[in-house]
Amino acid sequence: MFKKLRIRFTLSILLVMIIFLSILSGALYMGTKTLIDSSSRNLLEKSANDIIYGNNIGQDYFGFPNTEDTTDFFERFRQSLVFNDSKLKLSYAIYDKSLNMAYVRNNGGISFEKFEKYVLNAYKNQGYSFVIDNIDNIDYRIYTKFFRNEGTMGVLQLYQDISMELFILNHLKKILIITSLMSAVILTIVSWFLAGLSISPVKKAWLRQKEFVADASHELRTPLSVIQTNLDAALCDQERTISDNEMWLNNAYTETQLMTKLVEELLTLAQIDANQIRITREKINFSDICMSVIDRFRVKLIENNLELDTNIDEDIFIMGDSLRVAQLITIFLDNAIKYTNRNGKIKITLKSENDCATFRITDSGMGMSRRDTERIFDRFYRADKARHRENGGTGLGLSIAKWIADNHKGKITVDSKIGQGTTFIVEFPISK
């Protein structure tokens, strides 16, 4: 399932990136082509205007009607045109009003008769035209303009060899295509990696949910089986009294209590996941809450013959929900009692340290391995699976405790050594 999801995610990312690269490459190519074409057209038009009007100095150098002075005219005209050749590599021709070629500068052995159709059109329409045409296997940009100057009219035609320009554009197109293909390959690898990272939290959440459902089913099935077995034992002999079946009924009642606790914790976690639990924010006395919880457990401590050492500073205030903070302390103290052998010792301290209310609870129990401490806050995880049934543990309490700490801007750390005991440290910001 997740492999298919990863493939779909990768293809989605890749498709978006390919579309983006295609648009970017197309825009770059068309922008370059348009810029070159526009610049060349502007230069051709400017050169044509300079040729026709640039060197008049109050005189008419286009004196086509005065054919007797053509030698002097063309010499001066030639001097006004040559400056454009080095920039645009232009060839050009000037036609008089009879459309006879009056002047020509041919840089590339051009057959001018092949361009005459544009001359006729410009003369006929008395306008101008920009065209690109292939003449003798060479591509040209051709600017043809009809002009009038002091009663004289004619046609000026400029030719620009754009073979190199088209070569550069075609080369740019190939580079963009190759770059896009290489980018697609690289993006495929990167997209696959990013897709893996993106679905990793989803995969973990799904696996945790699957494990959660399986564990919850198992935890609920066990007490139900015990209840049913004990009730069957009590009902199988109808001649015996309730007193005679007290053991079976007590066992069923104990399992009912365990199942009730489990269901309550499952409901709490479900509400947490659905964001249905609201944390109230008010200034509370952390010290008083600690002492109140400890007092409720004194009977249980005596029953287990456990020594309790407390060192609670007075009047340490934090911002939070008093019921949830009490629940957190209850979870840690209850766990300490469950996992500490008889005649053991539990120590609880509450101090103000570096603007934090630091709550510590240390037991002399069996301790945990490093691997266990890394997973101790996972739902249904128990470091000692052999003892969880006998002491009524569900493996959900520490998950709830961590949620309470996180929602109070607190932090939980754990230090444990096998055979020496465990210390849980909870830090909350102090409210001043």
Model pLDDT, residue 424 = 94
d(CA 368, CA 25): 60
Model pLDDT, residue 74 = 42
d(CA 349, CA 313): 8
Model pLDDT, residue 109 = 64
d(CA 90, CA 31): 24
Model pLDDT, residue 392 = 53
d(CA 374, CA 179): 47
Segments in the chain below pLDDT 50: 55-88, 386-387, 389
Total Cβ atoms within 10 A of residue 313? 15
- Residue 382 amino acid letter: R
Which domains, ranges and CATH numbers included, belong to the chain?
Answer: 60-161 (3.30.450.20), 282-429 (3.30.565.10)
Model pLDDT, residue 107 = 58
pTM summary value: 0.52
d(CA 165, CA 162): 5
